[in-house]
Structure 1
C-alpha cells in the first residue's frame, strides 16, 4: 500500500487510498485462493498461476484483475521483494473477445488515400490519438492551440487535453490554412466544417456520416480507434498509462 501511495524506494505516481482500496478488493479473491493452495509468499507465484487466475474471467472483470496483478507485482519488484515479475507478459484485455485490429498495411497507406485536409486531420486524431469520432466533430476552433500544441476535448464541463505530436500538429495547421482560405467568411465555431456547414447560420457540427465518409471502404472511425488502443496496449510496459489517454469517459 505504501508503494502505491508513492512512498516506495523510488518516487512514483501516488494513488489515493480509495483507488488502492479498490485494488485490494479486486485482488482479495485471488490472494485468498493462492493462500488456500498453501502458497506462503508471492515469490512463489509463477506466470502459469497468474494466467490461471484471469482465465475464468472476461470483459471488465478480467481487465481489472490483470491491471491490479501487474501493478502489485511491479511494485514488489520495484521494492526488490521479488526478482522476477510473473505478470510481465500478461495481456490486459480479454484476448478471446477483443475486436480484430485493422490490417497494418491498410493503416500504413490510409492517409495516402485521403485527399482532403479535413479527412487527414480526422483520421490522425482517431488513429494516432484515439479520439472518438463524436468528440472530433464537436471540437471548437478555440479548443486548438498550435502554439501550445494541444487540443482540448470537451464533454459537458469536463475537459481532456490531447498533446499533438509533430505530424498531427502539421495536419491541424494545414487544415486551418485550408479552412480560412476556402471559407474566409465562416463564423461556425467548430474546428471541422464542410461545404454545407461552414456558412450555415445555425453553425452546426459536421455529421458523423461525413467523417465516416472520408475513410476507405471497410474501415470505420471506431475500428481505427480500437486498433490504436490495441496496439498501444500490446506495446506499453505499463497498462495503467493507457487509462487517462484512451478511456471513453474523461475525468
Structure 2
C-alpha cells in the first residue's frame, strides 16, 4: 500500500505491519489532508502506534556489545560554521548500518539499565539517536542549538538524548546560560557606563577575582537585585559610578526602612568597594555609613488552625513526609531535597539531616514507610539514590527542586519555612530558652539560637504575666 507507506513516513512513525494498521484503517470514516513532512501530534491515533512499537522494542534483546567506531581516515569538513539541518531527517529512514548509531544505542541501553529508564523513554531515545547520528562522521560535533528544536518538534526526550551524546563524547553545549539571560534583563534600563560597571562587578561576584572568592549564585542574584533600584535612579542623571556622591547614597537610603535599608546598603558597599579597588571611583561614597542593627521582632508560634490547613493540603505521600520533616525535625527545604536513601536508617530508627543524626519518631517513621512503598511501586527501576524523587528525577541521579518540595504548601500560612521556625520555637519554650540546647539539637548558629531563646523568653514572660506564674527557666 504505497499511500499507507507515505502516510507513515510523513508522520515520522516507524514502519508497521499490515496487521497493526488494518483494524485502525477499517475504523476510519473520514480522511484528513496534510502536508508531507509534518510530524505527528500528541494524542493522535498514530501516536498510539508509537506506544505499540515502544512495547515491542522493550521485549527485544539488548544490543550487541560494541566498541567505539574506529576509522583509518576521515574527510575534514570544508566549512566549520555551517549548521546542520536535522529537521529534514526522518527517524523511519535512519541508516541502521551506521556504526555510530549502533554505538549510541549500545550506550543508551547501558544508561537505561543503570538509571531505570522505562520502555517509552528508551524508544524515544533510540528514535532521537536515529535522527542525530544518521550521516554522522568522526570528527563532527553535535551542538545543542542544532538539535534542540528538531527533537522537540518530534516530541522526543531531549535531555536523555543529550546524556547519551555526552557519553559518546560528541556533544557541545552551546546554549545560552540562564545567568546570561538574567543578567541582560537586570541591566536593562541602566545608563551604558553604569551597566558596564555593574556587569563587571556582578561577574567578579560570581567568578571571583585576584583578591575575592566567588560567591554563590543566589548571593549574586540578591546583590544585583538590591542595588538595581538605586542604579536605575542614578542612571537618570549620571553616566558612570564615579559621578555618584555620598549625598546621593544617603538620599536613596532615606527612602528605605528596616531590613530593606540594611540589605541595600550592604550591597551598595560591596559595589563601591569593588569600584574603588578597581580604580573606577576616586572615593567610596558608601563608606562610613553605618548599617545599624536590625531590630528583630519576637517570633510568634503558629495557630492550630493554620497547621491543620497545611496538614490537609499535604495530600500525597511525598508532601506528608516533607511536612513531617519540616514540622517535627525542623529541616530546611534544601536539606530535605538532598536527603539520600542511606540517611534514613529505618531499622535503627535514625534519620541523618545535614550530618546530624536524629531519632525517628512514630509519625515520621510511618510517613517514611508510606513514601518508600509508594516510591517502590511508582518507580521500581529508578537508580536515583535520593530519598525524594519525581517523574523528572526518577530517570536520572539529581535531586528534586526546592520549588517542587514547597509547591503543596504554597499559599498556606503555615509554609514549610514557618513550620520549621515554629518547631524550633516550640523546643525553646518547652525545654527552656537555652541557646546552647537549641544550637546542639538543631545545629543553629549562635546568633540564631539566641534569637529563638529571646523570643521564647518573651513569650513565656507574657504567658506568666497573664497566668500569674513564673515561666520555665526563670526571668
TM range (shorter): 0.5 to 0.7
Q: Distance in 1 between matches of 2:403 and 2:365?
A: 24
Specify which of 235, 238, 246 is matched with residue 430 of structure 2. Answer: 235
Q: Distance in 1 between matches of 2:423 and 2:391?
A: 30
Q: Across the two proteins, how many residue pairs are aligned to each other?
A: 150
Q: Is the alpha carbon distance of 1:232 and 1:183 closer, same or farther for their aligned partners in structure 2, counting shifts above 3 Å?
A: same
Q: Is the 8 A contact 1:117 1:178 kept in 2?
A: yes
| 1:74-89 matched pairs, under 5 angstroms | none
Q: Distance in 2 between matches of 1:224 and 1:123?
A: 8
Higher relative contact order (CA 8 A, sep 6+): 1
Displacement, 1:183?
0.2
Q: Which has the larger radius of gyration?
A: 2
2:420 match: 225
1:189 match: 385
Structure 1 length-normalised TM = 0.55
1:34 match: none
Structure 2 length-normalised TM = 0.30
1:40-99 deviations in whole A, cap 9, x for unaligned? xxxxxxxxxxxxxxxxxxxxxxxxxxxxxxxxxxxxxxxxxxxxxxxxxxxxxxx96233
Q: Is the 8 A contact 2:310 2:415 kept in 1?
A: no
After the TM superposition, which segments of 4 or more aligned residues of structure 1 sit over 4 Å from their partners?
A: none
Q: Distance in 2 between matches of 1:182 and 1:96?
A: 45
1:99-130 deviations in whole A, cap 9, x for unaligned? 33332211134323211111100110101111
CA RMSD, aligned part only? Answer: 2.1
1:152 aligns with 2:352: yes
1:14-45 deviations in whole A, cap 9, x for unaligned? xxxxxxxxxxxxxxxxxxxxxxxxxxxxxxxx
Q: Is the 8 A contact 1:113 1:216 kept in 2?
A: no
| 1:113-128 matched pairs, under 5 angstroms | 113-128=313-328
Q: Is the alpha carbon distance of 1:194 and 1:237 closer, same or farther for their aligned partners in structure 2, counting shifts above 3 Å?
A: same
SS in 1 for 2:411: coil
Q: Is the 8 A contact 2:313 2:408 kept in 1?
A: no
Displacement, 1:233?
1.1
SS in 2 for 1:214: helix
Specify which of 135, 149, 154 is matched with residue 335 of structure 2. Answer: 135
Q: Distance in 2 between matches of 1:237 and 1:171?
A: 29
- Give the unaligned 5+ runs of structure 1: 1-94
Q: Distance in 1 between matches of 2:403 and 2:371?
A: 19
Instruction: Give the number of the structure whose residues are more often helix, by fraction.
Output: 2
Q: Distance in 1 between matches of 2:438 and 2:365?
A: 22
Q: Is the 8 A contact 2:438 2:444 kept in 1?
A: no
2:406 match: 212
Q: Distance in 1 between matches of 2:331 and 2:441?
A: 9
